[in-house]
A and B are shown apart, each in its own frame.
Chain A
Amino acid sequence: GNSVTQMEGPVTLSEEAFLTINCTYTATGYPSLFWYVQYPGEGLQLLLKATKADDKGSNKGFEATYRKETTSFHLEKGSVQVSDSAVYFCALSKTSYDKVIFGPGTSLSVIP
């Protein structure tokens, strides 16, 4: 079946450190891939997306590349800030799917 696996954390980094959150997926065909972010006390919001293989999604200094050969969509940021402290969810969807499949979320804390 369709599924998303991501490192569960919690992840604690110092400010300006490099961030990688791994995400791999299982799905038939070519799903769209997403990273959502949830800041404390808020709902989820889209961080970035990629809709086909080799696409790179980017936003707010975060990047992720759709790798069909490794079925991965790892989230990276070169220099994290305290304001990046949040929970990050990897997800996949296809227009033919009724549901969106989420990973379990990764909690990130960035300390000054």
Chain B
Amino acid sequence: NAGVTQTPKFRVLKTGQSMTLLCAQDMNHEYMYWYRQDPGMGLRLIHYSVGEGTTAKGEVPDGYNVSRLKKQNFLLGLESAAPSQTSVYFCASRKRGQGATGELFFGEGSRLTVL
């Protein structure tokens, strides 16, 4: 019962460094999402994907790129990290189609600090 798995769970970067967060889900869900959570800001959608090979921008996409080469994986990349990207990142997935209720399944989060 792995569900949604995020790696790494913690990372410290220096300004200008790059990194990739990996999200993997084993529920055969079509939709996948990347959110960031900051104190007092709730959840903000960065990018999302409605299926393999497709991605779309959310509310706060600047400074991030994503890829969905395989249905089960959704990668979030930071090409040149900035202190403003210090945050907790959550991946989520959900089922599409008949019988789907819209319920999201979340990973445990990845805490990123950019110095």
When distances are taken between beta carbons in the complex, the residues of chain B under 8 Å from A32 are 101-103
- Whether a CB of chain A sits under 8 angstroms from the CB of B90 is yes
B87 to chain A, nearest CB (A): 14
- Whether a CB of chain A sits under 8 angstroms from the CB of B74 is no
A43 touches B109 (CB 8 A): yes
B104 touches A51 (CB 8 A): no
Contact with B along A68-106 (1 / 0, CB 8 A): 000000000000000000000101111101111011110
Task: Give the interface centre of B45, B90, B100, B104 by most chain A CB atoms within 10 Å.
Answer: B104
When distances are taken between beta carbons in the complex, the residues of chain A under 8 Å from B104 are 34, 36, 44, 46, 91, 93, 100
- Whether a CB of chain A sits under 8 angstroms from the CB of B36 is no
Tell me the B80-103 residues at the A interface (CB within 8 Å): 90, 92, 94, 96-97, 100-103
Give Cα A94–Cα B100 distance, bound, in whole angstroms: 9
Q: How large is the interface on A (under 10, 10 to 19, 20 to 34, 35 or more residues)?
A: 20 to 34
When distances are taken between beta carbons in the complex, the residues of chain B under 8 Å from A95 are 96-97, 100-102
A99-B45, A102-B43 known; A43-B108 Cβ under 8 A? yes
Q: How large is the interface on B (under 10, 10 to 19, 20 to 34, 35 or more residues)?
A: 20 to 34
When distances are taken between beta carbons in the complex, the residues of chain B under 8 Å from A89 are 42-43
B94 to chain A, nearest CB (A): 7
Give Cα A89–Cα B92 distance, bound, in whole angstroms: 15
Give Cα A49–Cα B58 distance, bound, in whole angstroms: 24
Give Cα A5–Cα B94 distance, bound, in whole angstroms: 23
Tell me the A27-72 residues at the B interface (CB within 8 Å): 31-32, 34, 36, 42-46, 49, 51
